[in-house]
Structure 1
Amino acid sequence: MKRRTTTTLDDVARAAGVSPATVSRCINRPASVREEKRERILNTIERLGYVPNGSARALASKKTRMIGAIMPSLDNMLFGGPLEAFQKEVGSAGYTVAVACSEYDPQQERIHIRNFLESRVDGLLLVGAQRDPDIYRQLEQQGVPYVLTWISSDTRKEHCVGFDNAAAAEQLVDYLVTLGHRHFAMISGFIEHNDRAKARYFGVRNALERHGLSLPPDQLLHRPFEPDAGRDAFHLLMSAENPPTCILCGSEPHAYGALFEARDMNVDVPGEVSVTGFDDMWLASQISPPLTTVRTPRGRMGRQAAHHLLAQLRGERLVAPRPIETTLVVRKSTAPPRPTPLLQRVDTDHFQARTRVKSGS
């Protein structure tokens, strides 16, 4: 069988009527080539079936044009939107994204980081800032740019593209206190290795303390980020002798499970208990009752993370991004608490939300 002749970059250049250097720029930095010329080159590449030699290109440039992205979960639509936005932006600059999943396990994340570094990725997209300092030292020693998402932290703030989880949780509690709630419970993710969940918990606790309230230990339940876990936690909380008037959920899968269990238990939401979420995923506005929640700017975060990482790859000076604003979205899963003689009056006249409050259907 006759071996097929491999199309070369020079073949593409001749067929497209441009120089080999222009073809190379079109492949590696598409935005640097005029649209009309870029379309002609890309059409020629497709017609001739040209496939760039990635290994040769990496050897010549010492760049793989690959970015590693490590997500805590791939079983949760929460991470898909920002990852897609990130991929579109870096893709337009000629980079390909390789994705791995840590399953919220720091050891698994460490393995993925090591594998990506061995593969000579040009940069890394990570979620959160809490990890072994040795990992950061290794990244800096090897000169690998990285961006940290879903968090705005004083630790490595020049690498963080995200939002203030604690402030968003505080705003939510402040709003619920103005409704009259004094007896709170919280369904949280595990916080030992999750700085986002930890920040949300501390935001809730700090806001309650400002109002002279507290979150008793038996009213804080740590559960996996799954609807079934939210169901079980809701059932436990609402089966108590003195159930809460408001259950704060640190993630929306928790909140969805809580609402499903409320229906099965014939518990009226928000008549008997208010329920809140965090993130404003698509289902939040469709579930019954529609969920009061914090809207996180996921698409914008993905785009800004890409721009921040690309700036590092271009060798630009690193400037700490400003936290992205979140939005409190008030829907029908929250209302003033049921009448009870245990409620104590507190002064809420001076309540001011730090970020805007939006009413949704």
Structure 2
Amino acid sequence: MVMERSAKQGIRAVAAEAGVSTASVSRALNNPDSVSAPLRARIARAVETVGYIPHAPARELSSRRSRTLGAIVPTIDNTMFARGIASLQKYLSSVGYMLFLTTSGYDLDAELEQARNLVSRGVDGLVLRGDCHHDGLRKMLADYSVPFINVGIYRPDRPYPCVGTDNEAAAHRAALHVIELGHRRIGIVSALQRNNDRASARVAGFRRAMAEHGIEMPPQWHVEVPYTLDDAREAARYLLGLKDRPTAVVCGNDVIAYGVLLEAERSGFSVPDDLSVVGFDDLDWSRHLRPSLTTIHVPTGDTWQRAGEYLVRHLAGEQTIMHHEVDYSLIVRESTASPTRSSK
């Protein structure tokens, strides 16, 4: 099997695809300046088509493990990712593993390229964020038998290992909270949904809760933003500036909720008297703000540690559970209340 994969994925396959000699492929990969730019581009296209990863066949021929794992996250600017990576690295260090970290910027092509880089350097497995990936990435992991796990989601209907919260159900609970308080004018400030299945699931959960209670949300009351305070504040400024505005806003994560809270205060609105705000994740600052933030608590550290445990156990040949659901809980604090008569 190793020999078949090696022949299929190796330099000979690249040479055949590009219509050149194996020596030309070797020169292009090891000393790019020694071949012309058109030839480099031709060979690069062949490498992409074949799915060849330099040095990966040699890795397969060895029975030794590198005791390293790779993790690809969208960004390290998000506090939640930083917390998760810290927990993962702490666990891996305790069992003698090293972690290589890269970022993708929510770009599926970039994630594929980073995965190739990590596999070519001999990592034993990969931790990936969510289940929105390039088809080429899934094929590469299958071709090279690289174990991986999707972290931050719970999708038992998918044939891939995962550990995380049911984002749709958790967001449904968040929206249900403000509905139970009496709000029917509810807006959404979500993360950008493109290449982000967690954000999409949370929006779906918010909308399901509203639909179940006969609440129709005007299209302009849903704003998508990057995970930054500035963008969240801009979204809140827009919503609060509408003549017909919501009395409650459910947010895609806590950072977005912080931006909404800050802008509400700056614009002269009282939270929760004039506006109720709900977050998602329960970051450390959420309980220290004034008003403190009502949010969905997700045990981020435990989630990422479980991802590491799954891969370590899988690599050791132990029996593992492919789909692991992590519980969430609604934490009610000071940022939500029943709508006042003046805000209705």
Q: 1:163 aligns with which of 145, 162, 165?
A: 165
TM (norm. structure 1) is 0.76
* Offset of residue 172 of structure 1: 1.1
Contact 1:158–1:318, Cα closer than 8 Å, also in 2:
no
RMSD between superposed Cα atoms in Å: 1.9
Structure 2: runs of 5 or more not aligned? 1-58
* Offset of residue 179 of structure 1: 0.4
1:322 corresponds in structure 2 to 324
Partner deviation per Cα, 1:149-176 (whole Å, 9 max, x = no partner) = 0111145355101010110011111111
Partner deviation per Cα, 1:57-88 (whole Å, 9 max, x = no partner) = 99964322211111111112211222122112
1:295 corresponds in structure 2 to 297
Matches within 5 A, 1:167-316: 167-316=169-318
Over 3 Å counting, the alpha-carbon distance change for 1:280 and 1:157 in structure 2 is farther
2:25 corresponds in structure 1 to none
**Cα distance in 1 for residues equivalent to 2:320 and 2:140:** 18
Contact 1:200–1:250, Cα closer than 8 Å, also in 2:
yes
Contact 1:259–1:288, Cα closer than 8 Å, also in 2:
no
1:120 corresponds in structure 2 to 122
Q: Any idea what SS the aligned residue of 1:125 has?
A: strand
Partner deviation per Cα, 1:181-223 (whole Å, 9 max, x = no partner) = 0011000111121000000000001111111113221111010
Contact 1:284–1:290, Cα closer than 8 Å, also in 2:
yes
**Cα distance in 1 for residues equivalent to 2:63 and 2:144:** 16
* Offset of residue 339 of structure 1: 1.6
Q: Any idea what SS the aligned residue of 1:185 has?
A: strand
* Offset of residue 340 of structure 1: 5.9
**Cα distance in 2 for residues equivalent to 1:301 and 1:288:** 28
**Cα distance in 2 for residues equivalent to 1:210 and 1:265:** 32
Contact 2:109–2:134, Cα closer than 8 Å, also in 1:
no
Over 3 Å counting, the alpha-carbon distance change for 1:74 and 1:195 in structure 2 is same
Q: Which runs of 4+ in 1 moved over 4 A?
A: 57-61
Q: Any idea what SS the aligned residue of 1:280 has?
A: coil
Q: 2:65 aligns with which of 58, 63, 66?
A: 63
**Cα distance in 2 for residues equivalent to 1:289 and 1:71:** 31
**Cα distance in 1 for residues equivalent to 2:182 and 2:266:** 26
Partner deviation per Cα, 1:124-149 (whole Å, 9 max, x = no partner) = 01110111233112102211110110
Matches within 5 A, 1:88-103: 88-103=90-105
The aligned amino acid for 1:172 is A
Contact 1:274–1:333, Cα closer than 8 Å, also in 2:
yes
Over 3 Å counting, the alpha-carbon distance change for 1:98 and 1:322 in structure 2 is closer
**Cα distance in 1 for residues equivalent to 2:338 and 2:159:** 38
The aligned amino acid for 1:63 is R
Q: How much identity, in percent, do the aligned residues show?
A: 35
Contact 1:248–1:276, Cα closer than 8 Å, also in 2:
yes
Q: Any idea what SS the aligned residue of 1:322 has?
A: strand
Contact 1:58–1:64, Cα closer than 8 Å, also in 2:
no
Contact 1:205–1:214, Cα closer than 8 Å, also in 2:
no
* Offset of residue 244 of structure 1: 0.3
The aligned amino acid for 2:94 is S
Structure 1: runs of 5 or more not aligned? 1-56, 344-361
Contact 1:81–1:299, Cα closer than 8 Å, also in 2:
yes
Contact 2:156–2:323, Cα closer than 8 Å, also in 1:
no
Higher CA-based Rg: 1
Partner deviation per Cα, 1:217-236 (whole Å, 9 max, x = no partner) = 11110100101111000010
**Cα distance in 1 for residues equivalent to 2:311 and 2:91:** 10
**Cα distance in 1 for residues equivalent to 2:166 and 2:80:** 17
1:46 corresponds in structure 2 to none
Matches within 5 A, 1:24-63: 61-63=63-65
**Cα distance in 2 for residues equivalent to 1:74 and 1:175:** 30
Contact 1:271–1:338, Cα closer than 8 Å, also in 2:
yes
**Cα distance in 2 for residues equivalent to 1:60 and 1:144:** 14
Q: Any idea what SS the aligned residue of 1:147 has?
A: strand
TM (norm. structure 2) is 0.79
1:129 corresponds in structure 2 to 131
**Cα distance in 2 for residues equivalent to 1:58 and 1:167:** 41
Return 277-286 or 332-341, whichever deviates more: 332-341
